[in-house]
Amino acid sequence: MKLTRNEFGHDYTTYRFGYCEYATYEKGDRVADIYEKGFLPYSATPEVTAKGVFYMARSARVRLREFEFTSENRRIGKHFDGMFTFRILTIPEAKKDSRIRALFLEYFRKKHGDIVMPPARFDAIMDTPLPLRVFIYEKDGELVAAALEVFGETFGHFWFSAYDLDYVKQSLGMWLMLDGAQRAKEAGRSHYYIGTVYGARALYKTNLRPVEFWDGISWNTNLNLLKKLARAESK
């Protein structure tokens, strides 16, 4: 694992100097160790994504040995449990199914705008050197949802998901994350990474319990602090 830093900003009057920290995945690295140090895979630009670069951020993860559905989780589960046919695809298999790429591009275009997930970005993610696989959920032979998971023996990372937006008001996105965490627990993994928590809109991730977040030094279990930080950013 190669570590690098880029200058981001500074406030010389208070002697505060900001640097962004990155890690590059190298042959022989244990991907789990990179996640453990607070890094997540970078995907903003295709040429960097292809190199297996990670960025340090306020990421969150679920401790799977203690993970249990809350009453809210069970409420969401009742909408979808048993509804779909589930399959796990390798990346070569997923690339042969044109529906998956189309689903992701349409989902992000409609929900977040054209610039968030252009075709080049999605293709670069699918070509990552990291261990990646695709979960697909079908109903009556139609593709309803898919999720990209980076995985290892001890961890899983729910990286991106996409689904038919007819289900958006039924919390299908949240259910997909819950389903991924449950499957990781059943597989005997110890942690499930669920992305970053910035802004109040990301606090839905705290509905997975127990959750902890990277505070720049260690994994912090102070949920009240996490909520305070995220809500302050929204203001």
Structural domains of the chain sorted by starting position, each given as residue range(s) with its CATH number in brackets: 2-234 (3.40.630.30)
Which residues lie closer than 8 Å to 94 by C-beta, 6 or more apart?
Answer: 100, 126, 133, 134, 136
Integer Cα distance of 22 and 8 in angstroms: 12
* CB-CB neighbours of 152 under 10 Å: 16
C-alpha to C-alpha distances, 33 to 64, 74, 114, nearest whole angstrom: 17, 32, 34
pLDDT over threshold 80, residue 188: yes
pLDDT over threshold 90, residue 54: yes
Q: Is 232 helix (H, G, I), strand (E, B) or coil?
A: helix
The DSSP output letter for 106 is H
Considering the chain, what percentage of its residues have pLDDT values greater than 70? 100
Closest by CA position to 190, among listed 230, 232, 219: 219
In this structure, the chain runs to a length of 235
Which residues lie closer than 8 Å to 121 by C-beta, 6 or more apart?
Answer: 43, 44, 45, 46, 49
pLDDT given for residue 177 in this prediction: 98
pLDDT given for residue 168 in this prediction: 86
pLDDT over threshold 80, residue 235: no
